[in-house]
């Protein structure tokens, strides 16, 4: 009798698991992004900021002194010393009115009374060269102020003002302000109407309200210059 062959399935509990080999993850290469701005751009921005700061300094410190559109800039260019006070009209945005040293302020104007003498044409040119003009008198208050200033120079016979006859024989002011006979301050009997008396002087007389006299423009007199006050 043939023997039977018996097969048995054998399992080993302590069998070690198959080794696991860990493969290192692929190293991620850093990405190189192209540069979005040139290297000189930060320097340009810094320069622009510096220019902006400089402009602000100019606006805050320089422009207020030059802001008055009525004031010829030639006046500021001629004088380095100024006298300022706070007597400004209410409601203005600025706090000081300034005139060159040696000039006198009345309301919104500055006045200069000269010591030397010239003819009328030279006097007007001299005032213009300082950024002003021969005085234009618009009111009785201004006339009285000028006359009071004129009294401080008793040795001067007369001061030219900016009133003259044009080629048609009509009185007019140097700044083209219309001549108003009701706001004129002639001496009694003046203007006398002489053919060569085409200019006007303020004479040395006690009366302050009426002291204008027509005169020949070729005579040498002192002069009164006027310019708008600088508001700062």
Work out the average pLDDT over 190-202. 89
| 39 in a structural domain | no
| 102 in a structural domain | yes
| 121 in a structural domain | yes
d(CA 5, CA 86): 132
| 149 in a structural domain | yes
| 112 in a structural domain | yes
HSE-CB at 180 with a 13 A cutoff on CA atoms is 9
pLDDT at 64: 43
Model-wide pTM > 0.75: no
Report the number of distinct structural domains present in the chain: 1
Classify residue 61 as left (phi > 0), alpha (psi -120 to 50) or beta.
alpha
Residues in CB range of 123: below 8 A, 6 or more apart: 114, 134, 160, 221, 223
* pLDDT interval class at 18 (50, 70, 90): low
Q: Provide the 10 A C-beta neighbour count for residue 156.
A: 18
| 48 in a structural domain | no
d(CA 109, CA 227): 6
Percent of the chain with pLDDT over 90: 44
The CATH number of whichever domain residue 139 belongs to comes to 3.10.100.10
Work out the average pLDDT over 202-210. 78
* pLDDT interval class at 46 (50, 70, 90): confident
Per the CB < 8 A criterion, the answer to whether 90 and 205 are in contact is no
Prior bond of 191 cis (ω within 30°) = yes
Residues in CB range of 50: below 8 A, 6 or more apart: none
Tell whether the model's pLDDT for residue 191 goes beyond 70: yes
Mean pLDDT score across all residues of the chain: 79
What is the domain range of residue 191? Answer: 63-231
| 2 in a structural domain | no
* pLDDT interval class at 51 (50, 70, 90): confident
């Amino acid at each position: 009798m043939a023997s039977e062959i018996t097969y048995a399935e054998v399992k080993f509990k302590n069998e070690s698991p198959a080794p696991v080999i860990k493969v290192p993850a692929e190293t991620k290469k850093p990405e190189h992004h192209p540069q979005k701005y040139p290297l000189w751009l930060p320097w340009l921005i810094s320069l622009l900021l510096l220019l902006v700061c400089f402009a602000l300094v100019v606006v805050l410190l320089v422009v207020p002194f030059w802001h008055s559109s009525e004031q010829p800039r030639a006046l500021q260019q001629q004088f380095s010393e100024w006298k300022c006070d706070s007597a400004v009209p209410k409601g203005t945005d600025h706090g000081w009115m300034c005139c060159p040293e040696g000039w006198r302020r009345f309301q919104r104007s500055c006045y200069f009374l000269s010591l030397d003498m010239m003819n009328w044409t030279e006097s007007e040119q001299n005032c213009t060269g300082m950024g002003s003009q021969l005085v234009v008198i618009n009111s009785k208050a201004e006339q009285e102020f000028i006359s009071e200033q004129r009294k401080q120079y008793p040795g001067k016979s007369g001061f030219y003002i900016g009133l003259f006859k044009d080629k048609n024989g009509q009185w007019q002011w140097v700044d083209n302000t219309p001549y108003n006979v009701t706001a004129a301050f002639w001496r009694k009997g003046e203007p006398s109407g002489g053919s060569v008396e085409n200019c006007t002087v303020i004479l040395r007389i006690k009366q302050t309200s009426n002291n204008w006299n027509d005169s020949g423009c070729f005579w040498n007199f002192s002069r009164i210059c006027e310019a708008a006050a600088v508001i700062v």
